[in-house]
């Protein structure tokens, strides 16, 4: 029996999933420790319930696709609207170098995924699902690419597989970041890196100041922490600012719709969500560069995060776990290989290219976080390291900007390239 639910009931169930996820995270420490998002925690449980109902009674559910698609496009628009290229200049050369390192890993991740999928007798496109679509991209990108792979390439269960794989990545990224960074610290002169709890207050203060000065001298930055200690005055989200922000989102969605239609059948044919992201980038940088328009980043983030949560809740309600039974073992092999590749890349590429110093070790731990999971996982990894060994202003400046904004632009370009390769068609 197929039960179809309209937009109203889809929205109601999605919000209930989010409330359930919040309750689970409060009650289950494991979910909080590994930064499992509320829609994922609640949605996976809802997916299991749907699986049981299907197994026992043969029930399947159809939810409002246009509503889910709209929230997905708003999320990717928020990423584009937040990608201010002036931040690349503010981050300086280290940020640009780290972005190149991250871009290189995205290519490696997809090569490993596609290669192992082909070797295991799977469709090579499944290697992209077990590659940068879900591991670097996270749940949002997994939910966006899943329907594309299902509709255009015939990959059954791509959305369900993507959500499951992205969840594995979150846990794995949180597990490996700390150990990788700690092992790297043994390679450098860390006489000043004794755990903070084992230092006297005078030694801890001197070590922190010395490390801070050394890092910023190496990076060519001025040691000014005012930007960290004195955030800008908070601008309130009012009715007027809400309308202003919604107008920006509307422009992104209109741009995405027009470009999807105009580019159909041409070499520039891209998934609609990629055009939404690109539209956000264009609108953001044109308005700020040529019109000195002050973007309300906090409002953009609020709308983007809310859209992502609702989109994921709806996507997870639509999970068809029974479609994954034949893929479970080979995909797990690919994922375990991806964990090993991430650890090796962070240790021998990220760490060395970024300077093979304390900051580089913290950056490597952060890279493990969003290379396998998401930016919050990266921040948690770095926080665990710096709480023990001292601050790393450079890492906390670079990783959030790359992980939250620029990596999605690079990942979209790399994935578009891979999906156009003849042997993957």
What is the SS3 assignment for 59? coil
CA distances from 394 to 199, 400, 402 (A): 23, 11, 12
pLDDT tens by residue, 146-162: 988 988 888 888 888 89
Confidence band (pLDDT; 50, 70, 90) for 391?
A: confident
User: Is the pLDDT higher at 81 or at 58?
Assistant: 81
Separation between Cα atoms, residue 184 and residue 348, nearest integer Å: 10
pLDDT at 313 over 50: yes
pLDDT tens by residue, 208-242: 433 333 333 333 333 333 333 334 456 688 898 89
User: Is the pLDDT higher at 225 or at 119?
Assistant: 119
Kindly give the interhelix angle for 358-372 and 158-185, rounded to the nearest 10 degrees.
Answer: 170
pLDDT at 83 over 60: yes
Q: How many CB atoms lie within 10 A of CB 3?
A: 11
**Which of 104-113, 213-222, 296-305, 348-357 has the weakest average pLDDT?**
213-222
At residue 425, the pLDDT reads 62
Confidence band (pLDDT; 50, 70, 90) for 336?
A: very high
Separation between Cα atoms, residue 276 and residue 386, nearest integer Å: 37
What number of CA atoms fall less than 13 Å from residue 86's CA on the CB side? 12
User: Is the pLDDT higher at 21 or at 35?
Assistant: 21
CA distances from 11 to 127, 128, 317 (A): 32, 30, 11
Separation between Cα atoms, residue 80 and residue 89, nearest integer Å: 17
At residue 35, the pLDDT reads 66
Which DSSP helix (H) or strand (E) runs through 61? strand 60-62
User: Is the pLDDT higher at 129 or at 86?
Assistant: 129
Tokens of 21: 């996820």
At residue 229, the pLDDT reads 34
pLDDT at 33 over 80: no
Average pLDDT, integer, range 400-419 = 85
Q: How many CB atoms lie within 10 A of CB 378?
A: 29
User: Is the pLDDT higher at 59 or at 121?
Assistant: 121
User: Is the pLDDT higher at 218 or at 194?
Assistant: 194
**Which of 68-72, 176-180, 338-342, 383-387 has the weakest average pLDDT?**
383-387
pLDDT at 374 over 90: no
Query: Model-level pTM greater than 0.85?
Result: no
pLDDT at 323 over 70: no
At residue 242, the pLDDT reads 92
Average pLDDT, integer, range 269-291 = 90
At residue 267, the pLDDT reads 72
At residue 322, the pLDDT reads 67
Report, in angstroms and rounded to the nearest whole number, the Rg of the chain calculated over CA atoms: 22
At residue 259, the pLDDT reads 94
Q: How many CB atoms lie within 10 A of CB 339?
A: 18
At residue 209, the pLDDT reads 39
Average pLDDT, integer, range 267-286 = 88
Separation between Cα atoms, residue 398 and residue 275, nearest integer Å: 26
User: Is the pLDDT higher at 199 or at 294?
Assistant: 294
Average pLDDT, integer, range 120-140 = 91
DSSP state of 291: S
Cα–chain-centroid distance for residue 104? 16
User: Is the pLDDT higher at 201 or at 422?
Assistant: 422
**Which of 122-131, 200-209, 396-405 has the weakest average pLDDT?**
200-209
- The helices-and-strands tally (H runs, E runs) of the chain is 19, 2
Burial class (CB in 10 A: 0-12, 13-18, 19+), 340: exposed
Burial class (CB in 10 A: 0-12, 13-18, 19+), 218: middle
Separation between Cα atoms, residue 40 and residue 38, nearest integer Å: 5
User: Is the pLDDT higher at 332 or at 65?
Assistant: 332
Mean of pLDDT over the chain? 82
Backbone dihedral angles phi then psi of residue 184, each to the nearest 5 degrees: -70, -35
195 CB contacts (<8 Å, ≥6 apart)? 388, 389
User: Is the pLDDT higher at 128 or at 222?
Assistant: 128
Confidence band (pLDDT; 50, 70, 90) for 321?
A: low
User: Is the pLDDT higher at 228 or at 352?
Assistant: 352
């Amino acid at each position: 029996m197929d039960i179809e639910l309209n937009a109203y009931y889809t929205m109601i169930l999605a919000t209930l999933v989010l409330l359930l996820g919040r309750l689970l995270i409060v009650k289950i420490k494991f979910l909080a420790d590994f930064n499992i998002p509320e829609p994922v925690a609640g949605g996976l449980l809802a997916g299991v319930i749907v699986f049981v109902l299907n197994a026992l009674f043969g029930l399947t559910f159809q939810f409002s696709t246009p509503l889910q698609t709209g929230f997905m496009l708003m999320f990717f628009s928020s990423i584009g609207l937040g990608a201010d290229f002036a931040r690349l200049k503010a981050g300086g050369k280290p940020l640009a170098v780290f972005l190149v390192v991250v871009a290189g890993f995205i290519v490696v991740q997809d090569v490993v995924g596609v290669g192992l999928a082909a070797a295991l007798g799977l469709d090579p496109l499944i290697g992209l699902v077990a590659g940068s679509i879900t591991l670097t991209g996270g749940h949002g990108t997994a939910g966006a690419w899943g329907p594309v792979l299902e509709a255009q390439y015939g990959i059954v269960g791509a959305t369900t597989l993507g959500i499951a794989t992205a969840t594995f990545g979150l846990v794995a990224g949180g597990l490996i970041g700390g150990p990788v960074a700690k092992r790297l610290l043994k390679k450098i002169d860390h006489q000043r890196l004794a755990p903070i709890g084992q230092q006297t207050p005078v030694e801890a203060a001197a070590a922190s100041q010395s490390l801070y000065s050394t890092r910023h001298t190496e990076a060519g930055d001025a040691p000014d922490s005012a930007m960290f200690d004195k955030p800008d005055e908070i601008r309130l989200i009012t009715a007027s600012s809400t309308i202003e922000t919604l107008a920006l989102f509307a422009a992104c969605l209109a741009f995405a719709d027009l470009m999807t239609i105009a580019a159909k059948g041409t070499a520039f044919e891209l998934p609609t969500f990629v055009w939404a992201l690109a539209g956000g980038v264009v609108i953001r940088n044109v308005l700020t560069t040529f019109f000195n328009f002050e973007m309300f980043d906090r409002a953009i983030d609020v709308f983007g995060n809310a859209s992502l949560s609702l989109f994921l809740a709806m996507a997870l309600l639509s999970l068809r776990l029974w479609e994954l039974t034949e893929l479970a073992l080979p995909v797990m092999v690919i994922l375990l290989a991806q964990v090993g590749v991430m650890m090796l890349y962070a240790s021998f590429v990220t760490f060395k290219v970024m300077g093979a110093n304390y900051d580089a070790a913290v950056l490597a731990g952060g890279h493990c976080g969003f290379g396998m999971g998401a930016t919050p996982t990266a921040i948690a990894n770095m926080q665990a390291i710096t709480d023990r060994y001292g601050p790393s202003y450079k890492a906390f400046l670079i990783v959030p900007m790359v992980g939250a904004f620029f990596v999605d632009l690079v990942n979209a370009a790399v994935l578009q390239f891979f999906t156009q390769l003849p042997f993957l068609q």
